[in-house]
Amino acid sequence: MRIGIVCPYSFDAPGGVQFHIRDLAEALMERGHSVSVLAPADETTAVPDVVVPAGRALSINYNGSVARLAFGPMMAARTRRWLEDGQFDVIHIHEPMVPSLGMLALWEARCPMVATFHSAQLRSRAMQVAYPLLRQSLEKLAARIAVSEDARRTVIDHVGGDAVVIPNGVYCDTFANASPDSRWIGTDEAPTIAFLGRLDEPRKGLPILTAAIPAVLAEKPGARFLIAGRGDDGKAAAIEALGPAVDSVEFLGGISDEEKASLLKSATLYIAPQTGGESFGIVLVEAMSAGTGVVSSDIGAFRRVLDEGAAGALFTNSNSADLARVILDALNNPEATQARKDDAHTWVRQYDWSTVTSQILAVYEMAVEAETAASVMQEVATP
């Protein structure tokens, strides 16, 4: 099958959607399919070999963060050329309502189309504005996928209709088989507590964690906090907020995929203090796959990824005092933490790409078969 995948966000500032698309393309090619990914990127941006750069992206505030998107007549022409050159059997558009390449592909494509909705938003002014412009084009979609029940609810509320839930995929064995790094391995006396996320994006929750650190250190003075991610402003604010506790914090900066796997394999606990705007939680799946104990805010998407708390400990969203309490409980009760890790070991396999790819391919096949059946019916009906 010839598969075209459209990414709305630039690979020069990669995030969860880009990583999902990159790994999906790899998983599809491993099964023998031909895949091409169209994404915003200029000639100077390093992109995976499967990606066709569509041109320079612009920074736009979207869904609580700054997204790198591409739109306009030049992008439309490049999208049209990519579609013509690809002669795809099916097009898979990610976030079709984001003002970027996916929206352009939705207008231009004539072959069977599938869309994945990643966002989970109670109210979205952007979607409310975009829907009237896209209503007829959205009817061209043969199938809709939502990465979580939260994303599905967003589709129902803002777009109408329904979507099949297929979660984000993770190569679970990559994290399960990662090698620990001696610099980051925790002990009973000196546990290591990891955070990974954009430091200057408030909804990722770094201020919630930094406010909890002094209380943890008061009971566990040997604890070390490993903060990975980019964002100089966020780092500076965290250092100022930490005061003397900063001596127990190490800022790792941006890390590679290999370093991330090693960090998660080495840490005693992984902390996910996100405050909202999350539809899934890929890093939670990665941490569970690595066998790391997880402590997460109790936002809906994270509760579901963690089996309602059976596969990871939950704290009250945005409550630093409760976060400190749950971290200390996880450290002081290793048997309970191990029980959650054992549950996670089995639970997490549903998110492995071996399972997720089969589910997505089934949707592709359904879309192509539906298009073929519709064409046959049209031919029969034509005098």
How far apart are the C-alpha atoms of 71 and 380, rounded to whole Å? 40
Going from the C-alpha of 162 to that of each of 131, 150, 158, 360, 381, the distances in angstroms are 15, 12, 11, 16, 29
Q: For 248-273, what is each residue's pLDDT tens digit?
A: 999 999 999 999 999 999 999 999 99
Q: Residues 1-7: what's their mean pLDDT?
A: 97
DSSP 313: E
Which residue(s) pair with 68 in the sheet? 59
Rounded CA separation 52/86 (Å): 11
Higher confidence at residue 91 or residue 127? 91
Longest dimension (CA), the chain: 83
β pairing state of 90-94 and 113-117: parallel
- Residues 302-318, mean pLDDT to the nearest whole number: 97
| pLDDT over 70, % of the chain | 89
pTM above 0.75, yes or no: yes
Mean pLDDT of 320-347: 98
**Sign of torsion, CA 81 82 87 91?**
negative
DSSP 199: T
Asked which of 134-143, 150-159, 220-229, 233-242 is least confident by mean pLDDT, the reply is: 134-143
Give the mean model confidence (pLDDT) for residues 173-180: 98
pLDDT digits (tens, 9 = 90+) for 31-86: 999 999 999 887 777 888 999 988 776 666 555 555 556 667 788 889 999 999 99
Q: What is the mean pLDDT of residues 91-112?
A: 90
Share of the chain above pLDDT 90, in %: 72
Which of 138, 160, 59 is closest to 100 using CA atoms?
A: 59
Q: What are 193-252's pLDDT values in tens digits? A: 999 999 999 999 999 999 999 999 999 999 999 999 999 999 999 999 999 999 999 999
Residue 158 is predicted with a pLDDT of 81
Arithmetic mean of pLDDT, 17-43: 93
Ramachandran quadrant class, 324 (left: phi over 0; alpha: psi -120 to 50; beta: rest): alpha
Q: What token pair was written down for 221?
A: 């003075």
Classified as helix, coil or strand, 71 is coil
CA dihedral 201, 205, 211, 217 (to 10 degrees): -120
Q: What is the pLDDT of residue 130?
A: 58
Number of Cβ within 10 Å of residue 332's Cβ equals: 11
d(CA 247, CA 255): 21
**What is the spatial order of strands in the sheet that 143-146 belongs to?**
51-53, 34-39, 2-6, 90-94, 113-117, 143-146, 164-165
Distance CA 349, CA 341 (A): 13
**Interval 343-381: pLDDT, tens:** 999 999 999 999 999 999 999 999 999 877 655 555 555
Residue type, 101: L
Residue bearing tokens 């709305």: 8
Whether the Cβ atoms of residue 285 and residue 170 lie closer than 8 Å to each other: yes
Beta bridge partners of 67: 60
pLDDT mean across residues, the chain: 90
Predicted local confidence at residue 12, as pLDDT: 75
Q: Which domains does the chain have, with CATH numbers?
A: 2-169+352-381 (3.40.50.2000), 172-350 (3.40.50.2000)
Residue 299: what residue type?
Answer: I
What DSSP assignment string belongs to 114-177?
EEEE----S--HHHHHHHHHHHHHHTT-SEEEESSHHHHHHHHHHT-S--EE-PPPB-HHHHHT
